[in-house]
Every structure is written in structure tokens, then in C-alpha cells.
Structure 1
Amino acid sequence: MTVAGPPPEVVCVGESMVTFLPSRPGRLADVPSFTRAIGGAESNVACALAAAGHRARWTGRVGADGFGDHLTAALAAHGVDVTTVQRDPRRPTGVYFRTDADRATDAHEVAYYRAGSAASAMSPATVPHESLDGARILHLTGITAALSADCRALLHDLTAPRPGRPLVSFDVNHRPALWRDGDAAGVLLDLANRADLVFVGADEAETLWGAPDARAVAALVDRPAVLVVKHGPAGATAFDRTERAGGAGGTGGTRDTGGTGEARGTDGTGDTDGIDGSVHQERPPRVDVVSTIGAGDAFAAGFLSATLRGLGLPARLRHGHLMAAAALTTPGDLATPPSRARADRLAALDADAWGRLRLGPGWTSADTEADEEVRTR
């Protein structure tokens, strides 16, 4: 496969679907109409990276149908490279419907129509390594591993060591409802330990592996150079082990303190003894949440954007939080991120100002110093 044009900085591989958003609150049984959009963890990351000024490619399979046409056109309109997307004449593009209730509440409903989708037929034979040529980062998620045995084989192939392999970013993204077969805990742990950079929620790590805190997660997911454990509103803890192997690109051989002069622990105790490499914990700014849908994907995109720019571990976490805040303050899966200049200004705030920062709906479009001063009072 030969792809014209400059190579992408990031390639995201997985399933993207057409999503139908409700016209008003209520149960799926009661909502009278829906608005068509697109969704999918990997394509969400690609769209956010493209909006942040990076060359991002989404690779996957869609049906040779109208929904496939819409999906590829919508991704291209977001600035995402879709030149390696394949069309399957025998299988449909996946779709899903959801309510507007928060995913964490009992009122949230999702109806997936993705069984037997074109994406579920992805395999090592359908995603050639040539589609990754020149990329600095390959981003994958555990959602793809849940779709089929062939998809699990694909992720196993893409994460295998080989010359020229991009840095592999893996978001565990455990979706219990999708795991009809296979050992989710074992498969996802194995894939995480084959990656270079891993994102995992503390809640899903406890569900999957019984890990009660970030230290326990780090003991299990012990091979990636960088591990990020997300604690929801409490922030995120990042472990940078590049110093362990003497590699380049680490944040330094000492523990990061986030500018507070306080060594922050991985379990809220301040204890980082025994952690191999650099550790940093960063709380997010206060956010007036509209919807949590897509926030995890946005966090990954912000962290990856800062990684591509060679920023240090504390800055990578803050950029992840800022991109997540953009998603949290909009109702859909995709949000307009802050400009790079504004994100850099906010990420560079001192610890006190960062702690007072509050972001609400529309904050990404208010790009003035005065607005920042109001929000950090």
C-alpha cells in the first residue's frame, strides 16, 4: 500500500460508528427523534489531534453503504486522513443510539448495532503495516480487542516488536458489554504490557485486575515506558519509566512535584518509595460538566499532543486535562479544543492559579487573558 502526501504523526486504528443523539432527554423508548453524528474512541482521538494541529490518520473498515460514506466524509471534514480506510461490501457500518444522560448514571442507555460490522472483520490481513509508515505514534484501544478474535489478532500483530514500529499508545477502555467471548482481564493486561504508553482508569483497573490504587496498577502494567492512571475528578497519576532503561525522552530521574514543592504519591499518601522512574500526579481544573461522553478520548489526545511536542510529564497531564475539559463542557463526543497558544498559557499556570481555574461551556472560544483572570479568581 502506497499513500501519497506527508506521513501522519499519529495513526489511530479501530472502529468508528455513526451515532444517533437524542433530540431531548428521556428513555430511548420515549425519544421521538435523533441527530446523526459520528463516534468511536480511536476516531475521537484522531479528530481531537487534527483539531490541535497534528497530522492524524484514522484506519479502519466501514461498510459500502451510506453510513460509511457519511462517516468517512465527516472524519475528513474534521481534518483526519482517511486514505487507508477500507470499504467492506458484505458487512455494514456500525451504528448506535444513546440517551443524553451521563454515562455514569443508571439513566444512561446505549443501543449498539455493531455485531457483524465491517470493523469487526479487521485482522492482520486487512490493516497492513504500510498504513503506519512514517507515523510517530500508533494509538489503539481495548474496544477493538472486544469486537472479535480477528480484531484481537490484529492488535497482537500491531503491538509486536519490529523495526520501525511507532510508539504504541494503548487506552484500556474496558467496555464489559462488548466482551461476549475472550478473557477481558487477561487480553487487556497483555496488550497493555506490549505497549509503550498506556492509559487506564483506576475504576476499570480495579474491575479488571483487582488493583486498588495506582501503585498496584503500576505493579501489574510494569512494561510500558509511560503509564497514566486516571482518577476521574481527582486527576491522574503518570509513571515515566524511561529512566529505568536509560532511554531518552523522560521527564528526569527525580520525582516530579508539579511546582508545589510537594512529592505526590500514587495512592494519595505522598508515598512514592519503590516506584521505578518519575511519578507525577496532577488534578484537573474545576469544570462545569455538561456531558462526560468522549472525555477519556480527549484526555488521551491532549496527552499525545503534548508528547508529540516533547513536553514534560506535568505538562502532558495538564494538556490532557484541558482537552478533557473541552469535551466535558460540550454535549457531543467531539469538542473544539482550545487554541494551542491558550492551552500552553493555561498549562503553564502556577500551582495556585491552576487550582483556582474553572472552565465552563464555551471556554475554548474565549481566548483572552482577561477571561483567564476571571476564571482563576
Structure 2
Amino acid sequence: MDLRAALAAHRLVAIVRGDDPDAALRTVLALAEEGIELIEVSLTGKDALSVIERARHTLGPDRPLGAGTVLTAEDARATHDAGADATAFTDEGIHTVPAPRTAVVEPVGAGDAFAAGFLAGLLRGATATRALRLGHITAASALRVTGDHGPLPDPQETEALLGLSAREWAER
């Protein structure tokens, strides 16, 4: 998703936070049902990660869902694990890449794997979008196995995944 284009088109990001996680979840789902396209759950709310995880489960993988007040690397890993989309802010703009559908055997290590893939991509000179995708690919390798890391796709498959159009990537 091109967040800048989405903001220009919708002109609104709904930010949800509060002391009652069930009420926050109901709010997220009501906003989505009423057609609000861009929704963020602030980590300052009680059990915000649970709200994100339950909202992602209900809304499905194709609906934009963000996390706000992400202040540390651990916050970023935790929000990714909960199902928030991955977003990078660079001098060139805002880049958001949804997590691909992946069969989850165990979530241990997925956030660290995402961070490793993302940083490896940046260190290799990849664009922010390609680095985010590489983060998702490495996170998926961890999610598919028991333990904290699994086998990565071979280099040709990885390159093919990185080369998908935004639409093809979102449909995965």
C-alpha cells in the first residue's frame, strides 16, 4: 500500500486507544465496517497488542492496520508479530508493506527475523519496500517452524518474491 496515496485519497487516519481492550477492538471493527480505510491502534492503550492481533484476525490480512506510538525496536517487533503492517519512513516517503499470508507453526523469533531481513536489505542498498519485503520473507521462515528460525527460500525464489508488483505481493 502506498500510504501517501491512501492519505491523499482518504484524508483520515483513525487512531484508537483506551483503557478497555474490548471496547478498543469494537471501535476498530466499527470504524472498518463504516468504511474508514486507515486505522491505527496506539500502543499507549491497555493491551494494545492484543487489540491489534484480534483486529487483524477479524479483518483479515488485506485490510490496512497500523500501530502507533511505536518507540523502540521491541515495540516494532511486537506490533509486527501482532499483525500490524510494516512501515518505513524515509527521506523519499512512507513505505508500507503488508505481511504475506503464512502458515504459523510457532511465532517465536519472527520479530527478530523480520528485523534481520529488513536491516540486511537496507545494508545491501535495497529500497525501503524491498527491505520491508525481505523482512517479511525472513519472518515467514521463522513462523513456519518450531524454534526461532527456519530455512530461507533459495536466492532465485527470494528474488522472484522481491520483484513482485505491489498487487501481486498483497495477494500472496
> TM class by shorter-chain length?
0.5 to 0.7
Does the C-alpha gap of structure 1 residues 204 and 341 become closer, same or farther in structure 2, counting only changes over 3 Å? farther
Deviations 1:310-344 (A, max 9, x none): 00111111110010001111111121112233212
Within 5 A, what are the aligned runs for 1:13-52? none
Q: How far, CA to CA, are the matches of 1:313 and 1:289 in structure 2? A: 25
Question: CA offset at residue 282 of structure 1?
Answer: 1.0
- Structure 2 residues without counterparts, runs of 5 or longer: 1-39, 53-65
The answer as to whether partners of 1:214 and 1:237 remain within 8 angstroms in 2 is no
Tell me which amino acid in the other structure corresponds to 2:157: R
Distance between the aligned counterparts of 1:228 and 1:279, measured in 2?
16
Which one-letter code corresponds to 1:235 in the other structure?
A: D
For the pair 1:287 / 2:102, whether they are aligned, the reply is yes
CA distance in 2, matches of 1:215, 1:235: 11
Equivalent residue number for residue 133 of structure 2: 318
After superposition, the Cα gap between the structure-2 partners of 1:315 and 1:303, relative to the gap in structure 1 and judged at 3 Å, is: same
- Alpha-carbon separation, structure 1, partners of 2:41 and 2:151: 27
Q: Which of these two proteins has the greater Rg computed from alpha carbons?
A: 1
Tell which has more relative contact order, 1 or 2 (C-alpha 8 A, sep 6+): 2
- What residue is the counterpart of 2:87 in the other structure? 237
Query: How many Å apart are 1:307 and its aligned residue?
Result: 1.0
- The one-character-per-residue Cα deviations of 1:158-201 (angstroms, maximum 9, x if unpaired) are xxxxxxxxxxxxxxxxxxxxxxxxxxxxxxxxxxxxxxxxxxxx
Q: Percent identical across equivalent pairs?
A: 38
Distance 1:286-1:236 versus aligned 2 partners, 3 A rule: same
Rate the CA distance shift 1:203–1:214 in 2: closer, same or farther, 3 A. closer
Instruction: Tell me what 2:59 maps to.
Output: none
Mapped partners of 1:311, 1:279: distance in 2: 15
Task: Select between 348-357 and 285-294 the one with higher mean Cα deviation.
Answer: 348-357
Higher strand share: 1
Contact 1:299–1:323, Cα closer than 8 Å, also in 2: yes
Report what 2:44 is aligned to: 206
User: What is the aligned counterpart of 2:171 among 352, 356, 363?
Assistant: 356
**Which is richer in helix?**
2
Shift in Å at residue 296 of structure 1?
0.5
CA deviations over 1:24-49 (Å, ceiling 9, x no partner) = xxxxxxxxxxxxxxxxxxxxxxxxxx
User: In the alignment, which of 120, 130, 138 is matched to residue 305 of structure 1?
Assistant: 120
- Distance in 2 (CA, whole Å) between partners of 1:295 and 1:323 is 8
1:95-114 equivalences under 5 Å are none
- Do structure 1's residue 336 and structure 2's residue 151 form an aligned pair? yes
Q: CA deviation at 1:206?
A: 3.4
Q: What TM-score comes out, normalization by structure 2 length?
A: 0.54
Map Cα deviations across residues 2-55 of structure 1 (whole Å, 9 max, x no partner): xxxxxxxxxxxxxxxxxxxxxxxxxxxxxxxxxxxxxxxxxxxxxxxxxxxxxx
Deviation sequence 1:73-93 (CA, Å, 0-9, x none)? xxxxxxxxxxxxxxxxxxxxx
Unaligned ranges ≥5, structure 1: 1-201, 222-226, 244-251, 253-277, 358-377
Aligned to 2:170, the other structure's residue is in SS state: helix
- Measure how far apart 1:280 and its partner are: 1.5
Q: In 1, Cα distance between the equivalents of 2:159 and 2:152?
A: 12
Equivalent-residue separation in structure 1 for 2:41 and 2:116 (angstroms): 20
RMSD: 3.3
Aligned residues: 113
- Distance change in 2, residues 1:353/1:235 (3 Å): same
Measured in 2, the distance between the counterparts of 1:234 and 1:318 equals: 14
